Each structure stands twice: as structure tokens, then as C-alpha cells.
Structure 1
Amino acid sequence: MTAAALLNDLKARKFKPVYLFHGEEPYYIDLFGNYIENNLLSDAEKGFNQTVLYGRDTDMITVLNAAKRFPMMSEYQLVMVKEAQDLKWGKDGDDDKKGNDPLLTYLEKPVPSTILVFCYKHAKFDKRKKTYKAMDKNGLVFESATIYDNKVPGWIEDYVREKAYRIQPRAASIMGEYLGNDLSKISNELEKLMLNVQKGHEISAEDVQNNIGISKEYNVFELQDALAKKDPLKANRIIDYFAANPKNNPIQMVLGALQNWFTKILRYHYIGDKTPSNLAKELGVNPYFVKDYEAAGKSFNVWKVIEIIGYLREYDLKTKGVESTGNTTDGELLKELVFKIIH
């Protein structure tokens, strides 16, 4: 089940008796857990029918005793275990010759008036376990997986679209590049951003700069543009800005972005069908950016791109102290690198 479909079911009050939200990305675990906690019961019902426990402060017997109760003057009762990765889960029936695993016994026949929720964060639940299979069979399991960096701009576009906004592809890419793939952090920044722009407005790179503080002129995408045009003056102005603002523009992030960009340029050269739609698909980019890769492909032939990727690896090692002179600043390293890329 997709995240959107699951949220729609929760809003429609189509509940399962057991939920396991697990995975390395906490955003969706928090989203679904908070929604159930805030909306399953009315304020009047919560006093008698809502139990919130924390994995490290409780045990499975306490959880199950709470789950086996019946609601008072309410259709449901909620038992929620937050930080469930810290809970001692027992033997899973594997080492108990009598098969007397209380959790497994409950999961095979859960109380229908209890909504039992496990929020298992920062790790995947072991899918080989009998308890996992029982929760998947008689309840609902949702894995909140880490999103790949190249998928973040699309996620941002979908997020703002659901809020009745639009965002320019470049603005979404700038945010994704600078905020990383932490969806909670991204959603918080987007919420603050949308408070300051008119509903239905198309969010621009300028809006991102004014409200989040990411420069629309001095960023990795503008550096890539300067390199593609072989414009050393613009490239060095951007690097000077990066050097003056190292917290927001760490050299490791810049090198990583350039590595990803030149890898895609290399891939561009080996794609036979260079129609815009096929390039967008093969490169995994928004069609808006295809023209940028076409321009970069003309500026850097295959052999130059291979050489540049070698430079990027070399300078990545230098930032880690390997083959470094010791006194060279990050800004100086980037200027050396830019000179080699352009020339």
C-alpha cells in the first residue's frame, strides 16, 4: 500500500487491528502514528481509551494487557507503542517448544475493538519473524524506506501539489540538493515556505532564497551552469561564496553533486535515443533539465568527462587528508578543481 492510500484509509476510518510502521526513514512513521493518535478518538474518548507507551520504558506483557482491554463508551481503544525498536520483542515462538509466545498468540487473533500500533523507527523489522508475518496477515505493515537523493525533487513537487501549490523544477532541485533526503526536515522547511507565499502560487528559486536562505545565484546548479559554459569568472564567484559560507555549502556536498552531475553527463553520451522524453527517463531527471545535459554534453566529450570524474575522486581524497598539502583551504581546492574541469 502506498503512503497516500494508507493515509486515505485512515481518514476514511478504515482501520486495521494492528499496525507496524517501520523503516529507516522516520517521516512516514511519525506521519501515520501522529494521525492515528490525534484522530482515532475524540478528546472525550481519549481519557479512558488511549494508551501511549514507549519501547524502552515498557514490556510486551504490559502492551498486551492494555491491548486486551475493551473500550469504554467508545467504538475503539488505541494502544500505541512509540520507539518500538527499543521494546524487547521476545522469542517470536522460534525457541519456545510450547509455542507459547504471548505476542504471536495475540496477533493471530487480535481484539477487533483495539487498534494496536507499533512505531518502529530507524531500522527495518525482521521480515523473517513470525510476528512480522502475523502483523502483515491480520493487520497492516508499512515500511518507510529511505528515499534516494535523485527522487527528492519529485517528492517535493508531489508534497506541494497536495497542498495546492506548485514549485518550479529548479527550485525543487535546489532544495533537494541542500536539504538532503531527510523528509522531516524538508517537510518542515516547505511548511514554513508555504506560510509565506500565496496559496496556488508557483514557488520559485527566489521564494526558496527569501524564505529558506538558499541562494538562487550561488548554488551548485549555478556552478554546473558556469562549468558547462566554461565561464571561470562566474564559477570562481560561486566558489568564493561557498568558501565564505562553508556551513551551508560544505565541500563534500559540492563534490558529491558534481560527481552525480558528471556521471549523468557520461551516461548521456552513451544513450542512443536522445529524444527529450527518453533522455529524461534514462537520466532520471525532470524533462525541464534535459536541455542542461544536452549543453553539458556538447561542452564535455566522453574522454573529458572520464578525466573529470577522476579529478573529483582525487579532490574528494584531498578533503579527507589523503595526498593533501595540509594548508590548502576548501575554497582553494575547489578553485584548483574548477581550473582543471574548464581547461
Structure 2
Amino acid sequence: MKFEEILQQLEKGVFYPIYFLHGEEPYFIDKIAEVVQKLALKEEERGFNETVLYGKDADVVNLIHAAKRYPMGAPRQLIVLREAQLLDKFDLLENYFKSPQPSTVLVICYKYKSLDKRTKAYTALKNQKQALVFESKKLYDNQMAQWIGDYLKSRSLTIEPKAIMMLVEFLGAELEKVVQAADKLIVAMGPGTTHITVDHVARNIGISKEYNPFELQKALIHKDITKSNKIVKAFAANPKDFPVPVVTGVLFSFFSKLLAYYYLQDKSKSSVASALKINPFFVADYQVAARNYKGVKVAEIISLLREYDMKSKGFGNVNTPGGELLQEMVYKILH
């Protein structure tokens, strides 16, 4: 079952005796647990029927006893086990998974990794129709823009493609940070504003409208030497805000896709967008870059990006500051 479908079921008052939430992406796990905790009990039922435990401190035998008891003055009791990946003797839950207490809602938050699917406990969960097993996977970088757009759309907001790219580049793939930034934008804009622009992002998220990796990428696409040098000098003056791996990561993503662009037989806007998994808005950037950089040069640029990313991490470089590395790298890209 998908994340959105689980939330929809909860809103309808449908609860499973077991929610086993595991995987590398903590945001989806925390959100589902939060909604279950909000909706499973009425406020007056919580005192005797809500238990929150933490894996590091919990005893698995006591947890099973707690899960088997009956609710008091309510149709169900709720037990939330957080940080379940730290629970000692987790496999002892196997027998409970085979025969869960129908009046208990047991939410198990097993974060930052997935439970080994070869274990008996996992097999018992998968075979139990009264258990909802959800694996929370990290989003790929090329999925982030779509996810942000959908998240804002669910709140009746739209956003400029360029503004999405700024958020993705600045915040990375940590959904919790992305959601916090999006919610901050919603509050800052206030009622009446339904379209998020680059200006909104720059003002409220602390991303420079003029000096950011996306603007450097744009300057390089157009082979604008003056603007490229201006931006990279700003990066050099603020190395903590613009670390080399962040900049090389953004540029590597673009130039890798540019190399793939050369091999596309159908270079229509819709075909390129589909093949490269990008917003159609950005296809023009690849068309311009393909005119300004030959395929051999693009391959050279990709090699340069790898080289300077490694240098920024201390490989083959002892004393050169990150800012100087960026300036040197950009010079080689442009010449």
C-alpha cells in the first residue's frame, strides 16, 4: 500500500492491529505514526490506552504483554514503538505477529534501514493479513522535484520550476528538511498567495537568488564567463554556504544528462523530458548547452567534476581551499 493510501485509510477510521513501518526514509515513517497517534484514540481515551516506547529502552517481553492486554473504556489501545531498530531480541515478536490482539494498534517504527526479509519475524508480518507492512524508501534525486510539486499541490499551491530546482539543490533529498522549508514558505506567504516564485524562495528560505549552484549552472550553459566568475567568487567568499561537493553534485547531474542528450534520436521537447526525467521547462537548457559544448568536451567536464569533487575531500589535494578549487574547475570547464 502506498503512503498516500495509508493516510486516506486512517482518515476514514480504518486501523490495522499492526503497522510495521521500516526503511531508509524516516519522513514517511514518522508521518504515518503521527497520523495513527492522532486518529486512533479520542483525547479522553489516551490516559489509559496510549503507550509510547523506545527501542533502546524497551523490553520485548514487556512489550508483548502490553500489546496483549485489553483497552480500558475505549474500543482500542495504541502502542507506538519508536526506534524499533534498536530493540533487543526483535525476533521474539514473531509469535505476536502471527496472532495479534485485535483491539490493539501496534505501530512499529523501524527507521533508517529495512528489516532483513529473510527473518522469521518479517515472514510472519508479511503472512499476517492484519498487519500493514510499509517500506519507506529514499526518493531518487530525479524524483524530488515532482514530490515537492505534488506536496505543494496538495495544499492548493503551485510553484515555478526554477524555484523547485533551487529548493532541491539547496535542501537535497532529506524530506524532513524539504517539508519544513515548504511549510515555512506557506506560512510566510500568507493567505491569498497560491503561486510560489523564485523570489519567495530567495526571501524566505535563505537561498541567494543570484548566487546559487543553479545560477552557476545556467551561466555555464550559456558560456557566460563574466557571470560564471562572479558567482564562483561569491562561492569562494562563503565556502561554508557553498561546499565543493554540493556544487559539483549539481553540475555532475546536469552534464551527465547532457551527455545522454547527444545519444537521443528523438530530440523533441516531450521526448527529451521523458528520457532525461526532467521538467519540460528545462529542455531548452540542454538544447543551448549542446550547441555550446561538444560531446568530447562534456565527457571532459564530467571527468573534471569527479576530479575536483575528490580533491575537495582531500584526495590529491592537501592545502588548496575549496573556493580556489571551484574557481580553477570553472575556468577549465569554460576553456
Instruction: Report if TM-score (shorter chain) is over 0.5.
Output: yes
Distance (whole Å) between structure 2 residues aligned to residue 106 and residue 307 of structure 1: 58
**Equivalent residue pairs, number:** 332
Q: 2:117 aligns with which of 108, 127, 135?
A: 127
Q: Report the equivalent of 1:177.
A: 169
Q: Report the equivalent of 2:261.
A: 268
| Cα displacement (A) at 1:141 | 0.6
Q: Report the equivalent of 1:220.
A: 213
Q: 1:203 aligns with which of 158, 180, 196?
A: 196
| Cα displacement (A) at 1:322 | 3.3
Matched ranges for 1:262-301 at <5 A: 262-301=255-294
Matched ranges for 1:331-342 at <5 A: 331-342=323-334
1:41-100: CA deviations, max 9, x gaps? 11110011111111111111111111111111111111111111111235x4xxxxxxxx
Distance (whole Å) between structure 2 residues aligned to residue 313 and residue 56 of structure 1: 40
Distance (whole Å) between structure 1 residues aligned to residue 89 and residue 23 of structure 2: 17
Is the 1:70–1:77 Cα contact (8 Å) retained in structure 2?
yes
| Cα displacement (A) at 1:159 | 0.8
| Cα displacement (A) at 1:282 | 0.9
Distance (whole Å) between structure 2 residues aligned to residue 166 and residue 245 of structure 1: 31
Distance (whole Å) between structure 2 residues aligned to residue 107 and residue 314 of structure 1: 51
Distance (whole Å) between structure 2 residues aligned to residue 320 and residue 81 of structure 1: 39
Is the 1:17–1:110 Cα contact (8 Å) retained in structure 2?
yes
| Cα displacement (A) at 1:107 | 1.6
Distance (whole Å) between structure 2 residues aligned to residue 117 and residue 22 of structure 1: 11
1:131-166: CA deviations, max 9, x gaps? 212223331011111111221111111111111111
Distance (whole Å) between structure 1 residues aligned to residue 246 and residue 161 of structure 2: 20
Distance (whole Å) between structure 1 residues aligned to residue 286 and residue 157 of structure 2: 28
Structure 1 stretches of at least 4 aligned residues deviating more than 4 Å after TM superposition: none
Aligned-partner residue type, residue 106 of structure 2: L
Q: Report the equivalent of 1:70.
A: 70
Aligned-partner residue type, residue 273 of structure 1: D
1:329–1:106 CA distance, 2 compared to 1 (3 A): closer
Matched ranges for 1:1-343 at <5 A: 1-90=1-90, 92=91, 103-136=93-126, 137-138=128-129, 139-199=131-191, 201-324=194-317, 326-343=318-335
Is the 2:13–2:39 Cα contact (8 Å) retained in structure 1?
no
Q: Secondary structure at the match of 1:260?
A: helix
Distance (whole Å) between structure 1 residues aligned to residue 173 and residue 100 of structure 2: 36
| Cα displacement (A) at 1:270 | 0.7
Distance (whole Å) between structure 2 residues aligned to residue 126 and residue 13 of structure 1: 31
| Cα displacement (A) at 1:105 | 2.3
TM-score w.r.t. structure 2 length? 0.95
Provide structure 1 residue ranges, at least 5 long, that are not aligned to the other structure.
93-100
TM-score w.r.t. structure 1 length? 0.93
1:70–1:323 CA distance, 2 compared to 1 (3 A): closer
Q: Secondary structure at the match of 1:274?
A: coil
Distance (whole Å) between structure 2 residues aligned to residue 12 and residue 317 of structure 1: 51
| Cα displacement (A) at 1:320 | 2.8
Distance (whole Å) between structure 1 residues aligned to residue 114 and residue 96 of structure 2: 22
Distance (whole Å) between structure 1 residues aligned to residue 238 and residue 5 of structure 2: 42
